[in-house]
Amino acid sequence: MTALDGLGHGQEAKGDLPSALETYQRMSTEETGGFLEGMGAYNRARILAEQGKKQEAAQAFADLVSAHPGTTAAKQAQDRLAPLEAQGFKAVITPRPDAG
């Protein structure tokens, strides 16, 4: 996953945001845990916000918080979600059902 993370950041640095979005989407579907859990989804949501797609970004951050609770990515997403909600971009955080 670190390869995809690096690729996405490289694409982003070059200004190729559509490719970076695709890379981060791929990363978010392929990540299975560990240090980078949720970071593909976080970076994807961050780029959506940068592109001015604030409602989509708010929902993507909220979905991340729900899907990966307690992770570094979820904490960072919550930090990004709060200002978007203060601007009126509300998202629905759906709690994950208990496995037991």
Residue 41 has pLDDT above 80, yes or no: yes
- Closest Cα to residue 71, out of 34, 28, 23? 34
Answer yes or no: is 57 within a domain: yes
- Average pLDDT of the chain, as a whole number: 88
**CA–CA separation, 65 and 79 (whole Å):** 10
pLDDT of residue 100: 45
Instruction: Kindly state the tokens that stand for 88.
Output: 């009126």
What CATH number does residue 57 fall under?
A: 1.25.40.10
Out of 3-17, 18-32, 53-67, pick the least confident. Answer: 18-32
What is this structure's pTM?
A: 0.80
**Residue 30 CA, distance from chain mean position:** 14
Q: Which amino acid is at 83?
A: P
Diameter of the chain by CA atoms?
A: 46
**Residue 96 CA, distance from chain mean position:** 17
pLDDT of residue 99: 46
- What's the domain count of the chain? 1
Q: Which domain holds residue 10?
A: 2-86
